[in-house]
Structure 1
């Protein structure tokens, strides 16, 4: 392995505001120091998420880490150094994960939009052998959110589900996991007109064009509604009496359950056979990947809410 430099390139913001305005390229950021339970990752690819630009706006400043910060939760890369307590990984391992165990509680000051990031062993997993770094980087936050959200809704085999935002980063994985892992009896999902075919390919039995029909007017009601777009009030009209709505976009209208993931490397390892067999596939936006130099442009695109699947930055730097 090449020697680890004392400084590196990263995207940093030093004040809160619109991420397109405050995020700056810095070629001289100190490389993170390693704690005993961490590995140092040479970042190869990183996905971006709405939480990144919401953090930058200062929405969570009371529990945020101090500025300046390099954003980025999802990472895929190569281990270049390991702490003394690390058991699962060695130098040279290809790994991926969501680097912040608790999403909003003092996330790392150096996230994944940097050449190197220091990450706790327990939130990482070995990269599935059949996936590229770009595909692997697209998964952790979204796939953990999809799986844990279904658990929160007490979803199980034989139940029906409606997924709001089925073509998005989380929704596209909810459909696949509900079908192939949980054993859904029926899957309905919403998207715009041009993405209905994708919903069918992902496994949706009933694709719904939200530009032409209102899901809450369907005669059929569902055992679970998974709201990935922030329409919990409408979602409550789509479930059977006493059934559950889970939403990942605040605020939630009671009794809808607001949900935020806990990053978990063991869950990623558990999902690995489904990824390696191709039963569950990463869905990348056609514009992905954006080069590291176009990170700001990538955020502008993500904020349009028109992305299909995930937006990934590669190569880094």
Structure 2
């Protein structure tokens, strides 16, 4: 398919050739063959990409039995411009600004070339048009986190009028769980945990009760909640904070029964469904103030993400 863009045959990308700590194994390459597209795929010029814990877990070999063959270009989240479309693509055309988590199933046969590259290819079904009010940096921060947040509510069949406690409310997923609970799902009360400097952020996102986990134990609160949404891996404590008959959902396996764990599936339809909330500003991206990191500082960005101190999302821009 012809394109108005001057698309190179080889691209710059971050690559690893073996499993290990991502900040030790990542190498910058400037001569990676550009990915081909299948009939249901588009080629994207990546403008901004976000980092996820799944990137460094994948690099450690957590799911190597179902992983793509090495070498691997990591990265799930991107925002960019469509430069080529497959013959069966109907939703997008060359020039469209799009965003998405390009890997449908993180743990099962993920792509060899992820989003930490100048160009990447993915199926149209995992993408959506970028909300017009968001920058590429803001849009890149959203897909994996907001899809995960949303699908967790689906998993527990959350409904308006229920109360919710969010563990890790200042993180990439947690900061969006608070906003979705408040503005999309109509929670009666939203509580959330974070450290002392992040209490104001929790309130600004819509938390009615901000809990400083360095000063009090959420599981010892007199008040109990209909749902506890655990983004930090404390499902055992979460079970003590839930009402009788309530539910605990966690994104960090293994879950302590009867807490429910789930893995998100990337889906452009979720992004489309949430578009009105993003365009109205009711739901906002939360970007770490240290970012965006330039593409040349990808290793430093991963090292920072691994400290677990990041607020919201860590984004790379510009690329390259």
Q: TM-score range by the shorter chain?
A: over 0.9
1:1-317, aligned counterparts within 5 Å?
1-317=4-320
TM-score scaled to structure 1, two decimals? 0.99
Aligned partners of 2:270 and 2:154: how far apart in 1? 12
Give 1:2 shift.
Answer: 2.9
Deviations 1:187-223 (A, max 9, x none): 0000000000000000001000000000010011000
Deviations 1:57-81 (A, max 9, x none): 0011111110001000001000000
TM-score scaled to structure 2, two decimals? 0.98
Task: Report SS of the residue matched to 1:237.
Answer: coil
Aligned partners of 1:257 and 1:65: how far apart in 2? 28
Structure 1 spans left out of the alignment, 5+ residues:
none
Give 1:259 shift.
Answer: 1.4
Task: Report SS of the residue matched to 2:248.
Answer: strand
Aligned partners of 1:143 and 1:268: how far apart in 2? 8
Structure 2 spans left out of the alignment, 5+ residues:
none
Aligned partners of 2:164 and 2:285: how far apart in 1? 20
Aligned partners of 1:45 and 1:52: how far apart in 2? 16
Aligned partners of 2:213 and 2:206: how far apart in 1? 18
How many residues align? The count is 317
Give 1:151 shift.
Answer: 1.2
Give 1:267 shift.
Answer: 1.1
Aligned partners of 1:170 and 1:153: how far apart in 2? 16
Aligned partners of 1:180 and 1:120: how far apart in 2? 30
Deviations 1:19-53 (A, max 9, x none): 01101000000000010000000000000000000
Aligned partners of 1:305 and 1:64: how far apart in 2? 25
| RMSD across aligned positions (CA) | 0.5
Give 1:243 shift.
Answer: 1.1
- Runs (4 or more) in structure 1 with deviation over 2 Å come to none
Aligned partners of 2:65 and 2:245: how far apart in 1? 36
Task: Report SS of the residue matched to 1:270.
Answer: helix
Aligned partners of 1:2 and 1:103: how far apart in 2? 30
